[in-house]
Structure 1
Amino acid sequence: MFVDVLTADEDLVDPHKAMTSHLLLGTGIRNDTCGHTHKSWFTYRGDELYLDIPDFDNCRKEIDKARKGPNSNENICGSCEGSGDGGYTPKTPTSAGRQLLIPNSYKNHVTGEVEYFGLKDRCERYFAFDEPAAPTGSEYGFDMIQADGKDGFSAAFANKAVRAVGAKSDINPTLRKKRLIQEGVPNDKIRKFGTNKEGDKIPDIVAHDMRASYCTQLARNDVRTAYAMTKTGHKLEETFYRYVNFARNELDKNKDKSMF
């Protein structure tokens, strides 16, 4: 349902929020990595487009210096300042150096078909790639994903982005709540976001759910855990294995019917 929105009319969702949601879902990167993603991180290998996660990069976010404290470094964002490295670094050492394919198709395990995903097409429209393999021209030509007219974004913007897409999807907030409860989320921790300006109901989803979906999709596709973890950046196998179990225990209505 989420992908259906991302591959629909471009005018359905704000292009910056759509780009954020699409990149999070298609690569499984964490919020902070997505918020720091720069066009220079993308590389063509033949006709395929990859996102290369650096072990360090200068913080390129446009900082709202008016919000920085008197003892803060005004040239880097709060996340980079908190890391103590003077710039962007991934959350774990295993996250550095990942080479992530930017896919244009995916296996839809609901239909059983390989279907259009369109992340490569969106990235090529959004960023100003200047490599020979890049298509000529782009619709936008940004160096980084834009939030409030600035380069880069915060975790709060990422959550707003995925909820904007979720609101335009057929994700039912009530069924979403039941799924969260099933996964052990306390009832009082599940939030109600009401509707957007168009009256669409907003499900309780956050940016990190995109990473969980990416990991679950790898498990659905029977990717070996050790190899999958080179793409997800997980340090501990037991942390990743929850997605393997989730994929194994998913409801399969056709299998259920065949049992009777």
Structure 2
Amino acid sequence: MKKFAATLALAVFAAGGVHAADLGGKLLKVGSDTTSPPMESVDPASGQIVGFDVDVVNAICAKINCQAEFVTTGWDGIFAALDQGSFDLVASGVSITDERKKAMDFSDPYIVNSQAVLTRAEDQGITLDTFKAEGRKLSAQANTTDAQVAEGVVGKENVVAYDTFSAAIIALKNKDVDGVVINGANAAAYEREFAGELVASIKDLESDPIGLVFRKGDENVAAFNEGLKAIKDDGTLDQLVAKYWGLK
């Protein structure tokens, strides 16, 4: 697997052939907080849920004979809803952490994503030291590793947490905060969407492996890992990364 620099890198998987599992055409519901392009969002024209995570899950399902139905779910309640059986897995750019692994099972990582700080263009070149020294405010989506990173930079008292990424972006544009800690993939998307207004001034804060999330003990984890291995081996995962980020 080719490794990519900057804000996004493909996770490295073990080599070797795999015989993909067969889930018999089973329909699986997939919970996703669809406010984080390009990972997942709702296409305003079609109303369909689209994005990198959607394509990854669909590609895996093509290998292991299942169907995916994505369900928009707010981030705050997404893991509780999974545990209660509202859907079968979560695909929402979820960082794999030791704390989360105590309560849920993860697939193997399919990308490694690093956090960035998105700022207004007028603050391009700002440093973390400036944020700390001047007591500038950072924002992030609540209950995420991004929020934890923000607190580590400027202290909890200088972090404003929002329910969605888009709300944090609006706060930044309105000058309610001075930066948004966000994963590098999303930062690049917002930088393109608001070219000339917003920039990823600080990159590569911390790197998180990203995985699909399942209830503890779910037998589908093994099947999805086989499917994930298959789309790595045949180049599909590389093609999806190139589709969304232009990396080769």
Relative to the length of structure 2, the TM-score reads 0.27
Point out which structure has higher relative CO (alpha carbons under 8 A, 6+ apart). 2
**Structure with greater proportional helix content:** 1
**Structure with greater proportional strand content:** 2
Relative to the length of structure 1, the TM-score reads 0.26
Structure (1 or 2) with the larger CA radius of gyration: 1
